[in-house]
Amino acid sequence: MKVTIDGIPVEVEPGTSILNAARQIGGDIVPPAMCYYSKLEGSGGKCRTCLVKVSKGSEKDPRPMPKLVASCRTAVMDGMEVQNITSPEVIEARKGIVEMLLINHPLDCPICDQAGECDLQNLGYEHGAAKTRYEFDRRTFEKIDIGDKIQLHMTRCILCYRCVFTADQITDQREHGILNRGDHSEISTYIHKVIDNDFSGNVIDVCPVGALTDKTFRFKNRVWFTKPVEAHRDCNHPNCNGKVTLWYKGEDVLRVTARKDVYGEVEEFICNECRFDKKKTADWVIEGPRKVSNQSVISSNHYETLHPLPVVKTNPVLKEANQEQFERDTRL
């Protein structure tokens, strides 16, 4: 079936969501998504950042939908026309949603380990308001350890539920979930029961903000000072393929994460042994530098080129004049 998004037509399979249809086109017309995760069943519909306007329902029923819809949870219809960045209504609504997400989120980006690869940072930069209208006290929570390798900072959480879906679908037993209701809702374990299973570390990778962090990496370095390298090993765990990203600082491996696609979603989940216990280069087969988007601060290292490109192009005339000036000043 055919759907048109911001004036660009695309052919998709029946049952495809508007968000995934936009991802087939790519570029700026892809709506942002903080809670949807293609690898997790049932995800989406929580953060509302992917709202779009359906200006034409289908060929059979061309009436527009009366309200903005969540693109991650709305299936396309043949002949549907959707507006994302071309709709002022969507842009204004997204600005309000970002303001809502940042109501309780602390401004501790300078000390947060997620800084530099945080989806909320990018969203706030693109769609955030200059100041908030919220004048009440923000909710706060004490940091808790959920296992010996993971720390939960609930004050930063935006309740996207990704970590809950991850633990529910790739592990044998889920110990954490949503407690309480309304503005008292929080991700936690019942009476701080420890999360202990072979794939518990994946909740760190799926978290779009800095609510779940790797205790073995906390405060060790900023992500833009590290160099991501792709590597693999023959993992003994039957459900782990051993394909990871190693984050180097000099010759030291500071952390190990699962590989992510262009939308920041994990390609294959990895076990805790690969993530936490194998932090020596000798443990891995190095494949090469990981490709990083030019829009990411991580790319500032230019680690893929041995000789970084010059900032200013060589001008032979200017170069000769500078040489003459240098020789003249040297003689004087």
pLDDT value at position 167? 83
Tell me which residues of the chain have a pLDDT lower than 50. 191, 306-309, 332
Q: Residue ranges of the domains in the chain?
A: 2-99, 104-131+139-214, 223-299
pLDDT value at position 258? 94
pLDDT value at position 128? 83
Size of the chain, expressed as the number of residues it contains: 332
pLDDT value at position 176? 73
**The domains spanning 2-99 and 104-131+139-214 adopt the same CATH topology:** no
CATH C-level class of 104-131+139-214: alpha beta
CATH C-level class of 2-99: alpha beta
d(C-alpha 122, C-alpha 129), whole Å: 13
